[in-house]
């Protein structure tokens, strides 16, 4: 049973990453080509809004725990994976938007982009750790 849950979680995270790859291209092209980005104050305001999204999604992701999930019930597991998958997708999308918007504001800032990638990886690892802890 435990291995099935881990495989389900792995599949969920792979699906989210596969959704994030084209989303970055779409986000980048939309934001760089829109007339909105010519005004730096609007870009800064968008960055604040995106940061609020990221914080909210991170809070939801870290507040969720697999300990409360009935692991023997497929429906309960699917609901848990769907919930965490949506939160992970929102975290990834907001980090992608942060990268693009900060690139518009200050140019390519490799340390910031690396930090955003590390934050996403940490969120994925936390998801696996919480699941592993709850299924032991």
Best CA proximity match to 92, nearest among 21, 7, 10, 33:
21
Could you tell me the pLDDT band of residue 136, with boundaries at 50, 70 and 90? confident
Note the pLDDT tens digit of each residue in 23-71: 999 999 998 888 887 888 889 899 999 999 999 999 999 999 999 998 8
Rounded to an integer, what distance in angstroms lies between the CA atom of residue 22 and that of residue 26?
6
Rounded to an integer, what distance in angstroms lies between the CA atom of residue 96 and that of residue 80?
24
Domain range annotation of the chain: 2-135
Query: The whole model's pTM is what?
Result: 0.91
Best CA proximity match to 3, nearest among 131, 111, 114, 100:
131
């Amino acid at each position: 049973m435990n291995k099935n849950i881990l495989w389900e979680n792995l599949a969920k995270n792979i699906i989210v990453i596969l959704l994030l790859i084209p989303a970055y291209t779409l986000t980048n092209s939309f934001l760089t080509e829109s007339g909105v980005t010519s005004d730096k104050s609007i870009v800064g305001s968008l960055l604040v809004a995106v940061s609020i999204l990221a914080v909210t999604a991170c809070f939801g992701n870290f507040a969720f725990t697999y300990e409360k999930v009935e692991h023997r019930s497929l429906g309960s597991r699917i609901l848990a994976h769907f919930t965490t998958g949506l939160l992970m997708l929102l975290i990834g999308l907001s980090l992608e938007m942060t990268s693009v918007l900060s690139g518009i504001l200050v140019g390519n800032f490799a340390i910031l982009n690396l930090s955003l990638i590390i934050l996403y990886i940490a969120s994925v690892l936390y998801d696996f750790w919480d699941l592993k802890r709850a299924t032991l």
